[in-house]
Amino acid sequence: MSVKIISRAAWGAKPWDNDPRSDGPAQLAVTRLTEFFVHYDGAHHINATGYAIPRAIEAQHLAQGWAGIGYHFVVDQAGNIYEGRGWGRQGAHCPGHNVSGLGVQIAVGGDQEPSEAALAACRALYDEACRRAGRTLAKKGHRDGIATQCPGDILYAWVRAGMPAKGYTPPAGGAAPSGSTPARYRVTINGLSYGYGAHGDHVTRVGEALVAKGFGDAYKVGPGPKWTDADTEAYAAYQRSLGYTGADADGVPGQTSLRRLLSTLPGKAPAKAAPAFPGRDKFRPGANNRYVTMLGERLVAKGYGKHYRSGPGPRWTEADRKNVADYQRAQGWTGANADGYPGPQTWARLFA
Ligand SMILES: [Zn+2]
C-alpha cells in the first residue's frame, strides 16, 4: 500500500515556530522508533476534511508555544495524510514517548466513527513507519502512554484489534486533497496566458521554477509547455506557501506571485516589424534582387510555394507570380488585386 503524503509546503504550513529563521524541531532518525501512537482530536466531531484540518491543528499547537503540529502526521476523514513533523523530526504528542514514538492523529472526535479511508491511511502510515524503522513498531493509543481519553474508545478498540484496514486502498492521488477540483480558467499577465490549457515556453518556465522551489509533487510527468491540472496544483501549493488562501490560492497565477516565483515578469516578445515594401518595380519580369527571394521564402513558409520547381531565388519568374496570385486569391482578392504582382498590402500580409 503506497503512502501519499501532502507535504507541509503543499498544505501551506507556517514556518516552524512561525519564524523563517527557525530550524524547527530536533532532527531524529526514523530508525530510532519503537512505537506508533494513534491520537484523535478530542471531544468534538470533526466534519471538515482538507487543508483546514492541519491548519487548525497547527494554529492550536503554535499557540501552545510548540514549533508547529506536534503529531508526525494527521489523517482526515477523506483519507488524506498531512505532513506534521514528518519522518525525520522529534514529535510533541505524548510525553516520554516523543523520541521513541511516531504520533498520528486521526481527525475525529468524541464518539465519531472514523471512516474506512481514514483507518486505511493510518494503517498505511503504520506499515510505512515499520518499513522505515526496520522493525515492527508497537501499536499504541495515546492512553497507553499517559492518562488521557485519547484516542477515544472507538479508535482505541481499533488499535487493540491490530489496526485492520479491511482492504481499502487509499487513492494514490496528487498533492491536493481528494475531492477537490483544480481551477480551470486562464488569465493573461503581461500579454502571456496562464492557467489550464495555456501553452508556451513561459508555461514550462513556471513549472520548472515550481519544481526548483520544491512544489513539484503534483507532476507525474513534465513540467512542459502545456498548462495542466498538475501545474495548477503545483502553483496552488506555491501560493499557499506565500500565505494566500481561498481563491487567491487556486493555482492560477497572479502578477505578484508570478513575479516573485520568476524574479521577473515574462512578457510577449515584441512582434518583428515587417520589412518595408521595397516597391513594385522589384517584382516584374527581368527583376533580380534579394526581395524576390524574401518574398518567395515567405510564400513557401505560408504554404503558397506549389509552383516552384526550384528556388525560390532572386530572379522573378512566372512561378513567383502564380504563387503570389494564389496567395492573393486566398485573401479574397480578385481581378487586378490578384494578378500575382505584389503590392504593399500583399507584402504586409505576407510578413505579418
Ligand atoms: Zn492524543
From the CA of 149, how far away is ligand 1's center (Å)?
8
From the CA of 237, how far away is ligand 1's center (Å)?
29
Asked if 18 and 140 sit in the same domain, the reply is: yes
From the CA of 101, how far away is ligand 1's center (Å)?
12
Asked if 326 and 213 sit in the same domain, the reply is: no
Asked if 119 and 197 sit in the same domain, the reply is: no
From the CA of 24, how far away is ligand 1's center (Å)?
21
Asked if 152 and 230 sit in the same domain, the reply is: no
Assigned domain for 180 exists: no
CATH number at residue 85: 3.40.80.10
Asked if 213 and 345 sit in the same domain, the reply is: no
Ligand 1 being an ion, which residues bring their Cβ within 5 A of it?
A: 39, 142, 150
Asked if 138 and 285 sit in the same domain, the reply is: no
Assigned domain for 100 exists: yes
Asked if 73 and 9 sit in the same domain, the reply is: yes
From the CA of 35, how far away is ligand 1's center (Å)?
14
Assigned domain for 60 exists: yes
The pLDDT tens digits for 284-303 are: 999 999 999 999 999 998 88
From the CA of 92, how far away is ligand 1's center (Å)?
10
pLDDT given at position 24: 93
Assigned domain for 147 exists: yes
Assigned domain for 168 exists: no
- Count of beta carbons in the 10 Å neighbourhood of residue 179: 11
pLDDT given at position 68: 97
Residues of the chain with pLDDT under 50: 1, 170-179
Assigned domain for 183 exists: no
What is the number of domains present in the chain?
A: 3
| Region for 75 from its dihedrals, namely left if φ exceeds 0, alpha if ψ lies in -120 to 50, beta otherwise | beta
Which string of b and e fits 250-260 if b means at least 16 CB within 10 Å? Answer: bbbbbeebbee
From the CA of 4, how far away is ligand 1's center (Å)?
23
Asked if 42 and 104 sit in the same domain, the reply is: yes
CATH number at residue 201: 1.10.101.10
Assigned domain for 124 exists: yes
From the CA of 157, how far away is ligand 1's center (Å)?
15
Rounded to whole angstroms, the Cα distance separating 282 from 90 reads: 81
From the CA of 296, how far away is ligand 1's center (Å)?
78
Range of the domain at 195: 188-262
From the CA of 107, how far away is ligand 1's center (Å)?
11
pLDDT given at position 173: 35
Report the predicted TM-score, pTM, of the whole model to 2 decimal places.
0.51
Asked if 142 and 246 sit in the same domain, the reply is: no
